[in-house]
Structure 1
Amino acid sequence: MTAEASFPARSRPDHKPWANIPGELAEHIHPHLDSLADEMIVEIQSQVREYSRGDGPYAIMLRTIVERALHHFTDRIAASGGPPDAEFFQAIGRGEASEGRSLDPLQAAMRIGGLVAWRRIAQNAYDLDPRLIAALGEAVFLHQNEIAKFAAEGYRQAQAAAAGEMQRRRRRLLDLMLSEPPAGGEAIADLAAAAHWQVPRTVAAVALDIRHQDTRPPAFPPDVLVDLGRAQPSLLIPDPDGPGRAQLVDRALADCSGVIGPTVPVTEAARSMQLARQMLLLAQRGVIEAHGVIRCVDHMSTLILFQDETLLSSLAELRLAPLAHLRNSQQDRLAETLLAWLQSGRNANEVAMRLHVHPQTVRYRLRQLEELFGDQLLDPDLRFELEIVLRARRLQQGSAAAPHGSGEQHRAVSGEVITFRRY
């Protein structure tokens, strides 16, 4: 083909550089595609280690890619433009991802193939119009870039699908570990292997407070099982007491509100979550102060106190009956003094310091209490029960959910309303 015999350029500004390459040129290129493919494959195998094997599936795939890319290139010349076969090259990218390989070798092979094609054009440039040479060079590298883009899209699609499937497996694993009755160790190990989750010795469940969640989901370490889509968002932290794990957990939960359950063996994760949710209810009621994330281990005595609030109310009614006939303000003062006296080893001076009142005032109140309770204050078992109900009373009074102007405090626990009478 001489410069004088070159084909006229077609004006298609939306398909440049294809508009500047005559479609008839495709017929001249077709006979040379096999030799060009061979040259590209030799060059790629010599430079890209992953393709250096002379036979096998990798070599077959390489030839398929090269030949498809070349035939698509000539088809685009004949059609004056149009994209390459997106689905084919996306499938190549998905295949690389599914095999766990990097996309780098494929991208390198594409670049080398483009350079070989340009080298072949340069070798035959002596009888071509310079404008046609420029258009061909641009078309080669545009075609190469588009193929690389489609392969990368397929690669990302496969990675996203794999990540989504892994997340689903991990959510199923979390469901299994939090189920009742507890799952066995073998069932957990099988699903953990499918979810690529290394089974730890111990775990701690976390119940998040959805009322205080930011619109931006928090980021957690990759080994933490997470399901924020639950009615009660839940986490499971592996080996929470390991070196540095407490600080890691604190950083991960810095922007969250919720409760970390106690550390338990893997097969008892449901128990850790149950206690975390019970503590979360107490925090939501105001029984304990909630600032950020709460650890169950710091409030176990409170959790024990409120395990059976009906029984707790009955014990309070029995043990605090001597105060029942007094005004609410008198009940509050005497109950506060009695609790401080029990907690301070029955030392009046220490009670005065705890309550910030004069020792004489404390002694006056203690005489009232002796008259009301009599010998009950001498019995260590009764004193223990008194301290239990007085501690619970103080925690109940601190709850912001208490109705104003009522002699009773109503609390909702697990859908049931209980009554705790003030004395």
Structure 2
Amino acid sequence: MAAVTRHLEGQARGYAGGSAKPPGRLVCAAVKAAADLYVAEAAGGQPPRTGTDQLFARLGRVEAEERIHLDRMHAAWQVTTRHAWREISRHCRQAGADAGALTVLGELLHELMEELFRYVEAGFLQATRPHDVRARLGRMLLLSPGNDALPSLAAAACWQPPKLAVVAVVEHAARRAAPDLRQLSAAVLAWSDTSRTTVILDAARYEELRPALLAAVRPSPVALMGPVGLETLGDAHRWARQALALRRDGVLPADPVVDCAEWLDLLLAASDPPLLNHVTRTALHPLTDLGPHQRYMLALTLYDAIVRGGSAREIAVRLDVHANTVRHRLRQLEGLFGDRMQEPRGRIVLVMALNAVLPGWRDAAKRGANRR
């Protein structure tokens, strides 16, 4: 293999303009690293890729600086692979290798060279279109977290994939451009589509970065979901988008920041809208024939009593009414709902249903008050 390496290094020096120049030294180092990896894998080992991705990504960046087109690089890479295989197969035949062994070794070489070129390509793109690389990495994490190209893209983007991440989805405010996240660009992955911006943050730095993120996206609404593992980032992104849709529909409060962790029960129910509608109608049927104002006041009291609990006086303070008013409402509610207010399963269903209807019932109560 040493002879093959020397042969390829000679070709590399010619391609890079001589080994005395920095590109030539880098190309020779890449040839040696590729040869070492190939020998180790051909011997049945699993050599670590530590440093390999950075080396080949750096090669791509240098080629970009030399203004060498990516297509020319790929063509040269394929030629190098063919030359390498010609020399390797010649030495293997001389050593008595059979056709089966040559097939395995040939496939191994081509797979390794394709993997290494992905690192080179990612480095090239990082130098020429850095934002595109980070956007590609972010989209790949959402759509294909097990993709073999992830390590090379991450190296090119200079972003170390964390164990846990938080996903933020920003809904672009009407007649406003996408938020300016340049001050966070090194710490997050962020990209914008027509109607929203997606941001992926390292969960270990979330509390540190959250204030700057919220300040940068204001006044656009943002949904936050996490921490989650990288394998479930796509699901977290979908849940965050669902939360923003529920906010638009008035199911969730119109707060500028939606912490999805606070609304998991509603997100679960909203994944099947017909089931949520059925649960809501069934669970809250005793309130449906009441007027908008009375219905909302009783529902608000029921929600506060179940979720936050406490005495009538404590509930009254939170709702800003007299304690006797709360006692009267609680007696009405006990007559309407009976034991369901105390049963664990009944309380869960009631809270889920109330979360779904309270914003709409609040608005209906306000409209009724305005018509008086």
- Shorter-chain TM-score bucket reads 0.5 to 0.7
Aligned pair partner of 1:98 in 38, 54, 65:
65
Structure 1 pair 223/360, CA: closer, same or farther in 2 (3 Å)? closer
Counterpart-to-counterpart distance in 2, 1:173 and 1:276: 19
Aligned match of 2:170: 208
Q: TM-score, normalised by structure 1?
A: 0.49
Residues in 2 aligned to 1:173 and 1:280: alpha-carbon distance in whole angstroms: 24
Match of 2:326 among 348, 359, 362: 362
Of 269, 273, 281, which residue of structure 2 is paired with 1:317?
A: 281
Matching residue's letter, 1:98: E
For 1:251, give the aligned amino acid.
A
Deviation at 1:194, TM superposition (A): 4.5
Quote the residue 2:337 is aligned against.
Answer: 373
Residue 215 of structure 2 corresponds to residue 254 of structure 1 = yes
Residue pair 2:133, 2:153 contacting (<8 A) in 1 also: yes
- Contiguous gaps of at least 5 residues in structure 1: 1-54, 60-93, 101-158, 406-423
CA distance in 1, matches of 2:286, 2:362: 23
Counterparts of 1:67-86 in structure 2 under 5 Å?
none
Partners of 2:151 and 2:249 lie apart in 1 by 38
Code of the residue aligned with 1:192 in structure 2: it is: A
CA contact (8 A) 1:203 1:266 kept: yes
CA gap of 1:178–1:319, structure 2 versus 1, over 3 A, is same
In the alignment, is the contact (CA less than 8 A) between 1:285 and 1:399 conserved in 2? no
Cα 1:335–1:326 shift into 2, 3 Å: same
- What CA distance in whole angstroms lies between the structure 2 residues aligned with 1:171 and 1:334? 48
Q: How do residues 297-336 of structure 1 correspond to structure 2 at under 5 angstroms?
A: 297-304=261-268, 306-336=270-300
State the one-letter code of the partner of 2:148: E
2:168 alignment partner, SS class: strand
**1:321 shift after superposition:** 1.8
Give 1:273's match in structure 2, choosing from 223, 228, 237: 237
Residue 180 of structure 2 aligns with which residue? 217
Identity %: 31
Q: 2:315 aligns with which of 351, 376, 401?
A: 351
CA contact (8 A) 2:242 2:267 kept: yes
Q: Give, in angstroms, the shift of residue 261 of structure 1.
A: 2.2
Distance in 1 of aligned mates of 2:135 and 2:226:
21
Shift of 1:169: 2.8
8 A Cα contact 1:221 1:252, kept in partner: no
Instruction: Give, in whole Å, the separation in 2 of the partners of 1:162 and 1:183.
Output: 20
**1-structure distance, mates of 2:128, 2:190:** 13
**Structure 2 Cα separation of the partners of residues 96 and 347 of structure 1:** 72
Distance of 2:351 and 2:168 partners within structure 1: 31
Q: Deviations over 1:268-296 (max 9, x none)?
A: 221221122122223334422433x5443
**How many matched pairs?**
252
Q: Which amino acid aligns with 1:290?
A: D
Query: In the alignment, which of 191, 194, 198 is matched to residue 153 of structure 2?
Result: 191
Q: Is the 8 A contact 1:278 1:303 kept in 2?
A: yes
Give 1:83's aligned residue. Answer: none
Larger of the two Rg values belongs to structure? 1
How far 1:262 sits from its partner (Å)? 0.8
TM-score (structure 2 length as normaliser):
0.55
1:259 touches 1:279 (CA, 8 Å); kept in 2? yes
Q: How many Å separate the matches in 2 of 1:325 and 1:95?
A: 73
Q: Give CA deviations for 1:244-271 in whole Å, capped at 9, x if unaligned.
A: x532343244220322321222232212
What's the counterpart of residue 303 of structure 2?
A: 339
Give the drift of 1:334.
2.6
Deviation (angstroms), 1:214? 4.4
Which residue in 1 is equivalent to 2:357?
A: 393
Residues 296, 361 of structure 2: 8 Å contact kept: no
Aligned 1:16-95 pairs, distance under 5 A = none
Cα separation, partners in 2 of 1:303 and 1:366, compared to 1, 3 Å: same
Say if 1:391 and 1:226 are closer, same or farther in 2 by CA, change over 3 A. closer
Q: Distance in 2 between matches of 1:301 and 1:205?
A: 19
The aligned residue for residue 288 of structure 1 is 253
CA contact (8 A) 2:171 2:195 kept: no
| CA 349–97 in structure 1, closer or farther in 2 if over 3 Å, else same | closer
Instruction: Calculate the aligned-residue CA RMSD, in Å.
Output: 3.9
Q: Relative to structure 1, is the Cα distance of residues 97 and 289 closer, same or farther in structure 2, using a 3 angstrom cutoff?
A: same
Q: Structure 1's 398 and 192: CA in aligned 2 closer, same or farther, altered over 3 A?
A: farther
1:369-406 C-alpha deviation (Å, 9 max, x unpaired): 34333454454432432233223322443579x9967x
CA contact (8 A) 2:169 2:197 kept: yes
Matched, 1:170 2:169: no
One-letter amino acid matched to 1:210 = H
Distance 2:308 2:210 in 1: 36
Change (3 A) 1:296 1:342: closer
Residues 288-338 of structure 1: CA distance to partner in whole angstroms, max 9, x if unpaired?
2433x5443354455345443432221121122222333333322332333
Residue 279 and residue 188 in structure 1: after superposition, are their counterparts in 2 closer, same or farther (change >3 A)? same
- Residue 330 to residue 255, structure 1, CA distance change in 2 (3 Å): same
List gaps (5 residues or longer) in structure 2: 1-17, 23-60, 68-122
Deviation at 1:57, TM superposition (A): 5.6
